[in-house]
Structure 1
Amino acid sequence: MPVGLKKTQQPTSPLDHNRQIVTSQPMTHSQEETTETSKVSGLSGVGSSSLCDSPLLPPHISELSAVLRGLLDLVDRHWSGNFSLHLNPNFLEQAYSILSKLKSSSHKETEEKRDVGGNESVTIHEKREKSHDCTEVGHLQGTLTQKSQLTCLQKQLVTALMDNIKLKHEIHKLREDNSSWNNIDRQWQSCLQLQGKVLEAEEKHLKELKDSMDILQATHRWVWSSSDGDRPIDII
Protein backbone atom coordinates (compact mmCIF):
# COMPACT_ATOMS: atom_id res chain seq x y z
CA MET A 1 0.00 0.00 0.00
CA PRO A 2 1.19 3.58 -0.55
CA VAL A 3 2.79 5.06 2.52
CA GLY A 4 3.73 8.54 1.28
CA LEU A 5 0.49 10.23 2.43
CA LYS A 6 0.75 11.86 5.85
CA LYS A 7 -2.40 12.26 7.96
CA THR A 8 -2.95 14.06 11.21
CA GLN A 9 -5.36 11.41 12.66
CA GLN A 10 -6.47 7.82 12.13
CA PRO A 11 -10.04 7.21 10.89
CA THR A 12 -12.33 6.23 13.69
CA SER A 13 -14.94 4.56 11.49
CA PRO A 14 -15.35 3.41 7.87
CA LEU A 15 -17.42 6.51 7.08
CA ASP A 16 -14.53 8.82 8.07
CA HIS A 17 -12.22 7.52 5.32
CA ASN A 18 -13.28 10.20 2.88
CA ARG A 19 -13.03 12.96 5.46
CA GLN A 20 -9.38 12.55 6.37
CA ILE A 21 -7.48 15.79 7.09
CA VAL A 22 -4.27 16.27 5.16
CA THR A 23 -1.42 18.37 6.61
CA SER A 24 -0.92 21.92 5.36
CA GLN A 25 2.68 21.33 4.53
CA PRO A 26 3.61 21.50 0.85
CA MET A 27 3.12 18.08 -0.79
CA THR A 28 5.81 16.38 -2.71
CA HIS A 29 5.30 14.78 -6.09
CA SER A 30 4.63 11.36 -4.55
CA GLN A 31 2.16 12.89 -2.11
CA GLU A 32 0.29 14.56 -4.97
CA GLU A 33 0.05 11.21 -6.80
CA THR A 34 -1.23 9.55 -3.64
CA THR A 35 -3.80 12.29 -3.20
CA GLU A 36 -4.99 11.91 -6.78
CA THR A 37 -5.18 8.15 -6.29
CA SER A 38 -7.29 8.67 -3.19
CA LYS A 39 -9.63 10.95 -5.11
CA VAL A 40 -9.97 8.40 -7.90
CA SER A 41 -10.57 5.59 -5.44
CA GLY A 42 -13.14 7.70 -3.66
CA LEU A 43 -15.01 8.17 -6.93
CA SER A 44 -14.71 4.59 -8.15
CA GLY A 45 -14.98 2.68 -4.85
CA VAL A 46 -17.94 1.94 -2.67
CA GLY A 47 -16.54 4.13 0.07
CA SER A 48 -18.17 7.10 -1.63
CA SER A 49 -21.75 6.89 -0.44
CA SER A 50 -22.92 9.64 -2.76
CA LEU A 51 -21.73 7.73 -5.84
CA CYS A 52 -22.91 4.32 -4.65
CA ASP A 53 -26.33 5.63 -3.81
CA SER A 54 -26.66 7.62 -7.04
CA PRO A 55 -29.73 6.59 -9.05
CA LEU A 56 -27.68 7.04 -12.24
CA LEU A 57 -25.75 3.82 -11.58
CA PRO A 58 -27.07 0.57 -13.09
CA PRO A 59 -28.84 -1.67 -10.57
CA HIS A 60 -26.23 -4.43 -10.67
CA ILE A 61 -23.35 -1.92 -10.15
CA SER A 62 -25.16 -0.33 -7.22
CA GLU A 63 -25.75 -3.76 -5.70
CA LEU A 64 -22.11 -4.75 -6.14
CA SER A 65 -21.02 -1.45 -4.58
CA ALA A 66 -23.22 -2.03 -1.56
CA VAL A 67 -21.83 -5.54 -1.09
CA LEU A 68 -18.25 -4.38 -1.53
CA ARG A 69 -18.75 -1.45 0.85
CA GLY A 70 -20.05 -3.76 3.57
CA LEU A 71 -17.14 -6.13 2.99
CA LEU A 72 -14.58 -3.33 3.23
CA ASP A 73 -16.20 -1.97 6.37
CA LEU A 74 -15.80 -5.42 7.91
CA VAL A 75 -12.13 -5.52 6.82
CA ASP A 76 -11.49 -2.07 8.28
CA ARG A 77 -12.75 -3.23 11.68
CA HIS A 78 -9.96 -5.78 11.80
CA TRP A 79 -7.34 -3.96 9.70
CA SER A 80 -4.25 -2.79 11.60
CA GLY A 81 -2.51 -0.96 8.75
CA ASN A 82 -2.25 2.75 8.09
CA PHE A 83 -4.81 3.07 5.27
CA SER A 84 -8.24 1.68 4.41
CA LEU A 85 -8.90 -0.61 1.46
CA HIS A 86 -11.53 1.88 0.40
CA LEU A 87 -8.63 3.97 -0.94
CA ASN A 88 -6.83 1.20 -2.85
CA PRO A 89 -7.87 1.29 -6.53
CA ASN A 90 -6.10 -1.98 -7.41
CA PHE A 91 -7.93 -3.85 -4.69
CA LEU A 92 -11.23 -2.25 -5.65
CA GLU A 93 -10.78 -3.20 -9.31
CA GLN A 94 -10.01 -6.83 -8.50
CA ALA A 95 -12.83 -6.96 -5.95
CA TYR A 96 -15.28 -5.60 -8.52
CA SER A 97 -14.08 -8.19 -11.05
CA ILE A 98 -14.54 -11.08 -8.60
CA LEU A 99 -17.94 -9.88 -7.43
CA SER A 100 -19.04 -9.33 -11.02
CA LYS A 101 -18.11 -12.93 -11.85
CA LEU A 102 -20.02 -14.16 -8.81
CA LYS A 103 -22.95 -11.96 -9.75
CA SER A 104 -22.95 -13.20 -13.34
CA SER A 105 -22.64 -16.81 -12.15
CA SER A 106 -25.53 -16.32 -9.74
CA HIS A 107 -27.52 -14.61 -12.46
CA LYS A 108 -26.85 -17.52 -14.81
CA GLU A 109 -27.92 -20.01 -12.17
CA THR A 110 -31.07 -17.99 -11.57
CA GLU A 111 -31.77 -17.88 -15.30
CA GLU A 112 -31.11 -21.61 -15.58
CA LYS A 113 -33.44 -22.30 -12.67
CA ARG A 114 -35.99 -20.03 -14.26
CA ASP A 115 -35.56 -21.82 -17.58
CA VAL A 116 -35.86 -25.18 -15.83
CA GLY A 117 -38.94 -23.96 -14.02
CA GLY A 118 -40.31 -22.63 -17.29
CA ASN A 119 -39.53 -25.93 -19.00
CA GLU A 120 -41.19 -27.81 -16.15
CA SER A 121 -44.21 -25.53 -16.48
CA VAL A 122 -44.28 -26.16 -20.21
CA THR A 123 -43.88 -29.90 -19.60
CA ILE A 124 -46.72 -29.89 -17.06
CA HIS A 125 -48.86 -27.88 -19.48
CA GLU A 126 -48.03 -30.31 -22.29
CA LYS A 127 -48.83 -33.26 -20.03
CA ARG A 128 -52.16 -31.67 -19.12
CA GLU A 129 -52.94 -31.01 -22.76
CA LYS A 130 -51.89 -34.57 -23.65
CA SER A 131 -54.04 -35.96 -20.85
CA HIS A 132 -56.94 -33.80 -22.02
CA ASP A 133 -56.40 -34.98 -25.61
CA CYS A 134 -56.25 -38.61 -24.47
CA THR A 135 -59.45 -38.13 -22.49
CA GLU A 136 -61.13 -36.52 -25.51
CA VAL A 137 -59.92 -39.31 -27.80
CA GLY A 138 -61.20 -41.93 -25.34
CA HIS A 139 -64.55 -40.15 -25.18
CA LEU A 140 -64.76 -40.01 -28.98
CA GLN A 141 -63.81 -43.68 -29.24
CA GLY A 142 -66.49 -44.55 -26.69
CA THR A 143 -69.03 -42.50 -28.66
CA LEU A 144 -68.04 -44.20 -31.92
CA THR A 145 -68.27 -47.61 -30.24
CA GLN A 146 -71.75 -46.80 -28.93
CA LYS A 147 -72.83 -45.59 -32.38
CA SER A 148 -71.42 -48.75 -33.97
CA GLN A 149 -73.24 -50.93 -31.43
CA LEU A 150 -76.45 -48.96 -32.01
CA THR A 151 -76.10 -49.47 -35.77
CA CYS A 152 -75.61 -53.22 -35.27
CA LEU A 153 -78.67 -53.37 -32.99
CA GLN A 154 -80.74 -51.50 -35.58
CA LYS A 155 -79.67 -53.97 -38.27
CA GLN A 156 -80.53 -56.89 -35.98
CA LEU A 157 -83.92 -55.30 -35.25
CA VAL A 158 -84.67 -54.91 -38.96
CA THR A 159 -83.66 -58.54 -39.57
CA ALA A 160 -85.86 -59.71 -36.67
CA LEU A 161 -88.84 -57.72 -38.00
CA MET A 162 -88.40 -59.24 -41.46
CA ASP A 163 -88.20 -62.74 -39.96
CA ASN A 164 -91.32 -62.01 -37.92
CA ILE A 165 -93.20 -60.95 -41.04
CA LYS A 166 -92.11 -64.13 -42.82
CA LEU A 167 -93.22 -66.26 -39.88
CA LYS A 168 -96.61 -64.53 -39.86
CA HIS A 169 -97.06 -65.31 -43.56
CA GLU A 170 -96.07 -68.93 -42.98
CA ILE A 171 -98.46 -69.24 -40.03
CA HIS A 172 -101.29 -67.76 -42.11
CA LYS A 173 -100.50 -70.17 -44.90
CA LEU A 174 -100.46 -73.11 -42.51
CA ARG A 175 -103.79 -72.00 -41.12
CA GLU A 176 -105.21 -71.86 -44.64
CA ASP A 177 -103.77 -75.29 -45.37
CA ASN A 178 -105.19 -76.58 -42.11
CA SER A 179 -108.57 -75.19 -43.05
CA SER A 180 -108.34 -77.00 -46.37
CA TRP A 181 -107.41 -80.21 -44.61
CA ASN A 182 -110.30 -79.73 -42.24
CA ASN A 183 -112.64 -79.38 -45.19
CA ILE A 184 -111.23 -82.51 -46.76
CA ASP A 185 -111.56 -84.36 -43.48
CA ARG A 186 -115.16 -83.27 -43.11
CA GLN A 187 -115.89 -84.36 -46.65
CA TRP A 188 -114.20 -87.70 -46.02
CA GLN A 189 -116.17 -88.21 -42.85
CA SER A 190 -119.36 -87.40 -44.73
CA CYS A 191 -118.40 -89.89 -47.40
CA LEU A 192 -117.73 -92.57 -44.81
CA GLN A 193 -121.04 -91.89 -43.16
CA LEU A 194 -122.79 -92.12 -46.52
CA GLN A 195 -121.03 -95.40 -47.29
CA GLY A 196 -122.12 -96.74 -43.91
CA LYS A 197 -125.69 -95.83 -44.61
CA VAL A 198 -125.49 -97.49 -48.04
CA LEU A 199 -124.05 -100.65 -46.50
CA GLU A 200 -126.77 -100.68 -43.89
CA ALA A 201 -129.38 -100.30 -46.62
CA GLU A 202 -127.82 -103.13 -48.67
CA GLU A 203 -127.61 -105.32 -45.60
CA LYS A 204 -131.26 -104.64 -44.91
CA HIS A 205 -132.15 -105.35 -48.52
CA LEU A 206 -130.17 -108.60 -48.48
CA LYS A 207 -131.90 -109.63 -45.30
CA GLU A 208 -135.27 -108.91 -46.85
CA LEU A 209 -134.25 -110.79 -49.97
CA LYS A 210 -133.17 -113.78 -47.90
CA ASP A 211 -136.44 -113.72 -46.02
CA SER A 212 -138.28 -113.62 -49.32
CA MET A 213 -136.26 -116.57 -50.63
CA ASP A 214 -136.97 -118.54 -47.48
CA ILE A 215 -140.67 -117.85 -47.81
CA LEU A 216 -140.57 -118.77 -51.47
CA GLN A 217 -138.77 -122.05 -50.81
CA ALA A 218 -141.21 -122.95 -48.06
CA THR A 219 -144.12 -122.24 -50.34
CA HIS A 220 -142.59 -124.25 -53.13
CA ARG A 221 -142.09 -127.28 -50.88
CA TRP A 222 -145.61 -127.09 -49.70
CA VAL A 223 -146.85 -126.95 -53.26
CA TRP A 224 -144.92 -130.00 -54.34
CA SER A 225 -145.76 -131.91 -51.21
CA SER A 226 -149.44 -131.42 -51.80
CA SER A 227 -149.30 -132.51 -55.46
CA ASP A 228 -149.99 -135.99 -56.87
CA GLY A 229 -146.41 -137.08 -57.05
CA ASP A 230 -145.02 -139.81 -54.82
CA ARG A 231 -141.84 -138.09 -53.85
CA PRO A 232 -141.43 -134.53 -53.09
CA ILE A 233 -138.97 -132.37 -54.94
CA ASP A 234 -136.54 -130.52 -52.73
CA ILE A 235 -135.50 -127.20 -53.97
CA ILE A 236 -132.12 -126.27 -52.81
Structure 2
Amino acid sequence: MSTVLLAEDASSRPGHDVELGPHLLRHGLGDARDILRIYSPAPTAAFSRRDTLRPGYERAASAVRQHGFEPVVRPQGGSLAAYHRGSVVVDHVHRAEQSSPNPVERFQRFAAMHTAMLAGLGADARIGPVPGEYCPGEYSINAGGVKIVGSAQRVTRDGWLFSTVIQVSGTAVLREVHTAAYRELGYDFDPATVGSLEDVVPDLTVERVAEAVRAAYDLPGPHLPDSSPSPSSRHR
Protein backbone atom coordinates (compact mmCIF):
# COMPACT_ATOMS: atom_id res chain seq x y z
CA MET A 1 0.00 0.00 0.00
CA SER A 2 1.15 3.58 -0.59
CA THR A 3 -0.18 6.56 1.36
CA VAL A 4 -3.32 6.01 3.42
CA LEU A 5 -5.46 9.05 4.25
CA LEU A 6 -7.47 8.80 7.44
CA ALA A 7 -10.95 10.26 7.48
CA GLU A 8 -11.38 13.19 9.86
CA ASP A 9 -13.19 12.34 13.06
CA ALA A 10 -15.07 15.48 14.08
CA SER A 11 -15.86 13.99 17.50
CA SER A 12 -12.22 13.38 18.48
CA ARG A 13 -10.78 15.21 21.44
CA PRO A 14 -7.35 16.90 21.84
CA GLY A 15 -6.02 14.06 24.00
CA HIS A 16 -6.91 11.51 21.32
CA ASP A 17 -5.50 13.73 18.58
CA VAL A 18 -2.11 14.07 20.22
CA GLU A 19 -1.88 10.33 20.96
CA LEU A 20 -3.00 9.01 17.58
CA GLY A 21 0.12 9.97 15.61
CA PRO A 22 2.58 8.26 17.99
CA HIS A 23 0.26 5.24 18.18
CA LEU A 24 0.24 4.89 14.39
CA LEU A 25 4.00 5.40 14.29
CA ARG A 26 4.52 2.55 16.70
CA HIS A 27 1.85 0.10 15.52
CA GLY A 28 1.10 1.11 11.94
CA LEU A 29 -2.11 0.53 10.03
CA GLY A 30 -2.12 -2.63 7.99
CA ASP A 31 0.76 -2.60 5.51
CA ALA A 32 0.67 1.16 4.92
CA ARG A 33 4.09 2.78 4.71
CA ASP A 34 2.74 6.34 4.91
CA ILE A 35 -0.31 7.38 6.93
CA LEU A 36 -1.71 10.89 6.60
CA ARG A 37 -4.25 12.68 8.75
CA ILE A 38 -5.57 16.13 7.82
CA TYR A 39 -7.99 17.66 10.30
CA SER A 40 -9.27 20.79 12.04
CA PRO A 41 -9.13 20.14 15.78
CA ALA A 42 -11.07 21.26 18.80
CA PRO A 43 -9.28 24.16 20.57
CA THR A 44 -5.97 22.65 21.68
CA ALA A 45 -2.92 24.02 23.47
CA ALA A 46 -0.13 21.58 22.63
CA PHE A 47 2.68 21.95 25.15
CA SER A 48 6.02 20.22 24.69
CA ARG A 49 7.73 18.18 27.38
CA ARG A 50 10.23 21.02 27.67
CA ASP A 51 7.36 23.38 28.54
CA THR A 52 6.22 21.12 31.39
CA LEU A 53 9.59 21.69 33.11
CA ARG A 54 9.09 25.46 33.24
CA PRO A 55 8.14 26.89 36.67
CA GLY A 56 5.07 28.54 35.15
CA TYR A 57 3.70 25.49 33.34
CA GLU A 58 0.73 24.85 35.65
CA ARG A 59 -0.27 28.50 35.47
CA ALA A 60 0.06 28.39 31.66
CA ALA A 61 -2.15 25.30 31.50
CA SER A 62 -4.74 27.07 33.64
CA ALA A 63 -4.53 30.16 31.42
CA VAL A 64 -5.27 28.25 28.21
CA ARG A 65 -8.23 26.53 29.85
CA GLN A 66 -9.66 29.94 30.71
CA HIS A 67 -9.50 30.75 26.98
CA GLY A 68 -11.37 27.56 26.08
CA PHE A 69 -8.33 25.56 24.92
CA GLU A 70 -7.55 22.09 26.27
CA PRO A 71 -3.92 21.65 27.36
CA VAL A 72 -2.15 18.50 26.13
CA VAL A 73 1.48 17.41 26.06
CA ARG A 74 2.73 16.37 22.64
CA PRO A 75 5.71 14.06 22.07
CA GLN A 76 7.27 16.30 19.41
CA GLY A 77 9.77 18.98 20.42
CA GLY A 78 9.53 22.76 20.35
CA SER A 79 7.32 24.81 22.64
CA LEU A 80 3.63 25.59 23.03
CA ALA A 81 1.54 25.88 19.87
CA ALA A 82 -2.21 26.51 20.06
CA TYR A 83 -4.66 25.62 17.29
CA HIS A 84 -8.41 25.25 16.83
CA ARG A 85 -11.22 24.77 14.30
CA GLY A 86 -9.71 27.55 12.21
CA SER A 87 -6.49 25.55 11.80
CA VAL A 88 -5.52 22.67 9.53
CA VAL A 89 -3.27 20.09 11.16
CA VAL A 90 -1.34 17.63 9.01
CA ASP A 91 0.10 14.56 10.74
CA HIS A 92 2.30 12.48 8.41
CA VAL A 93 3.48 9.12 9.74
CA HIS A 94 6.18 7.29 7.80
CA ARG A 95 7.01 3.78 8.99
CA ALA A 96 10.48 2.58 8.03
CA GLU A 97 13.05 1.06 10.36
CA GLN A 98 15.91 2.39 8.23
CA SER A 99 14.60 5.95 7.87
CA SER A 100 17.14 8.73 8.25
CA PRO A 101 17.47 10.06 11.82
CA ASN A 102 18.47 13.47 10.41
CA PRO A 103 15.45 15.77 10.78
CA VAL A 104 16.74 18.68 8.69
CA GLU A 105 15.93 17.22 5.26
CA ARG A 106 12.30 16.64 6.24
CA PHE A 107 11.93 20.15 7.65
CA GLN A 108 13.30 21.54 4.38
CA ARG A 109 11.18 19.30 2.17
CA PHE A 110 7.87 19.90 3.92
CA ALA A 111 8.50 23.63 4.35
CA ALA A 112 9.10 23.89 0.59
CA MET A 113 5.98 21.84 -0.18
CA HIS A 114 3.73 23.87 2.10
CA THR A 115 5.16 27.19 0.95
CA ALA A 116 4.46 26.29 -2.67
CA MET A 117 0.96 25.16 -1.74
CA LEU A 118 0.23 28.43 0.09
CA ALA A 119 1.59 30.45 -2.82
CA GLY A 120 -0.94 28.66 -5.00
CA LEU A 121 -3.65 29.92 -2.64
CA GLY A 122 -2.43 33.49 -3.05
CA ALA A 123 -0.22 33.91 0.02
CA ASP A 124 3.25 35.46 -0.19
CA ALA A 125 4.55 32.68 2.04
CA ARG A 126 8.20 32.57 3.06
CA ILE A 127 10.31 30.06 4.96
CA GLY A 128 11.97 31.35 8.10
CA PRO A 129 11.14 32.46 11.63
CA VAL A 130 9.64 35.78 12.64
CA PRO A 131 11.57 37.25 15.62
CA GLY A 132 9.56 36.70 18.78
CA GLU A 133 7.25 34.03 17.30
CA TYR A 134 5.68 31.23 19.32
CA CYS A 135 7.34 27.80 19.02
CA PRO A 136 10.23 29.33 17.05
CA GLY A 137 11.85 27.28 14.32
CA GLU A 138 14.15 27.78 11.37
CA TYR A 139 11.54 26.30 9.03
CA SER A 140 8.48 28.18 10.22
CA ILE A 141 6.48 29.78 7.41
CA ASN A 142 5.45 33.42 7.56
CA ALA A 143 3.47 35.86 5.46
CA GLY A 144 2.90 39.56 5.94
CA GLY A 145 5.14 39.60 9.00
CA VAL A 146 3.22 36.95 10.95
CA LYS A 147 3.75 33.24 11.49
CA ILE A 148 1.16 31.14 9.69
CA VAL A 149 2.68 27.63 9.70
CA GLY A 150 4.70 25.71 12.27
CA SER A 151 6.00 22.17 12.29
CA ALA A 152 7.58 19.61 14.60
CA GLN A 153 8.64 16.02 14.30
CA ARG A 154 9.38 12.87 16.25
CA VAL A 155 11.86 10.23 15.08
CA THR A 156 11.88 6.70 16.52
CA ARG A 157 13.15 3.28 15.51
CA ASP A 158 9.80 2.74 13.74
CA GLY A 159 10.11 5.79 11.47
CA TRP A 160 8.98 9.38 11.89
CA LEU A 161 5.97 11.55 12.62
CA PHE A 162 5.96 15.01 11.04
CA SER A 163 3.24 17.38 12.25
CA THR A 164 2.35 20.69 10.61
CA VAL A 165 -0.12 23.32 11.81
CA ILE A 166 -1.50 25.74 9.22
CA GLN A 167 -3.32 28.65 10.84
CA VAL A 168 -6.18 29.60 8.53
CA SER A 169 -8.39 31.89 10.62
CA GLY A 170 -9.06 33.12 14.15
CA THR A 171 -5.99 35.31 14.65
CA ALA A 172 -7.47 37.23 17.59
CA VAL A 173 -8.18 34.20 19.77
CA LEU A 174 -4.87 32.56 18.83
CA ARG A 175 -3.06 35.72 19.83
CA GLU A 176 -4.88 35.88 23.15
CA VAL A 177 -4.20 32.29 24.18
CA HIS A 178 -0.54 32.36 23.14
CA THR A 179 0.01 35.63 24.96
CA ALA A 180 -1.56 34.35 28.17
CA ALA A 181 0.41 31.09 28.14
CA TYR A 182 3.78 32.47 27.07
CA ARG A 183 3.57 35.12 29.78
CA GLU A 184 3.39 32.33 32.37
CA LEU A 185 6.04 30.18 30.69
CA GLY A 186 8.47 33.09 30.63
CA TYR A 187 9.64 32.72 27.04
CA ASP A 188 10.55 35.66 24.83
CA PHE A 189 7.45 36.27 22.75
CA ASP A 190 5.90 39.01 20.63
CA PRO A 191 2.08 38.70 20.32
CA ALA A 192 2.15 40.65 17.05
CA THR A 193 3.84 37.68 15.34
CA VAL A 194 0.76 35.47 15.78
CA GLY A 195 -1.30 35.37 12.61
CA SER A 196 -3.24 33.30 10.14
CA LEU A 197 -3.91 33.11 6.43
CA GLU A 198 -6.99 35.29 6.80
CA ASP A 199 -4.63 38.21 7.54
CA VAL A 200 -3.10 37.99 4.07
CA VAL A 201 -5.65 36.12 1.93
CA PRO A 202 -9.21 36.96 3.01
CA ASP A 203 -12.00 34.40 2.53
CA LEU A 204 -9.81 31.29 2.66
CA THR A 205 -11.50 28.41 4.47
CA VAL A 206 -10.14 25.39 6.29
CA GLU A 207 -11.90 23.21 3.71
CA ARG A 208 -10.07 24.87 0.85
CA VAL A 209 -6.72 24.65 2.62
CA ALA A 210 -7.28 20.98 3.48
CA GLU A 211 -8.14 20.34 -0.17
CA ALA A 212 -4.89 22.06 -1.20
CA VAL A 213 -2.94 19.83 1.19
CA ARG A 214 -4.51 16.71 -0.32
CA ALA A 215 -3.66 18.00 -3.79
CA ALA A 216 -0.05 18.60 -2.74
CA TYR A 217 0.10 14.94 -1.75
CA ASP A 218 -1.83 13.98 -4.91
CA LEU A 219 -4.61 12.44 -2.83
CA PRO A 220 -8.29 12.83 -3.81
CA GLY A 221 -9.80 12.36 -0.37
CA PRO A 222 -10.17 9.96 2.57
CA HIS A 223 -10.38 6.34 1.46
CA LEU A 224 -9.93 4.38 4.60
CA PRO A 225 -11.50 2.37 7.26
CA ASP A 226 -14.75 2.48 8.88
CA SER A 227 -13.17 4.49 11.73
CA SER A 228 -9.79 5.77 12.85
CA PRO A 229 -7.82 3.45 15.15
CA SER A 230 -7.98 4.35 18.81
CA PRO A 231 -4.81 4.84 20.86
CA SER A 232 -6.67 3.37 23.82
CA SER A 233 -6.60 -0.06 22.14
CA ARG A 234 -2.82 -0.36 21.95
CA HIS A 235 -1.20 -3.73 21.39
CA ARG A 236 0.84 -4.93 24.33
For normalisation by structure 2, the TM-score amounts to 0.20
Identify the structure with the greater helix proportion: 1
For normalisation by structure 1, the TM-score amounts to 0.20
Higher-Rg member (1/2): 1
Select the structure with the greater relative contact order (CA < 8 A; seq sep ≥ 6). Answer: 2
Identify the structure with the greater strand proportion: 2
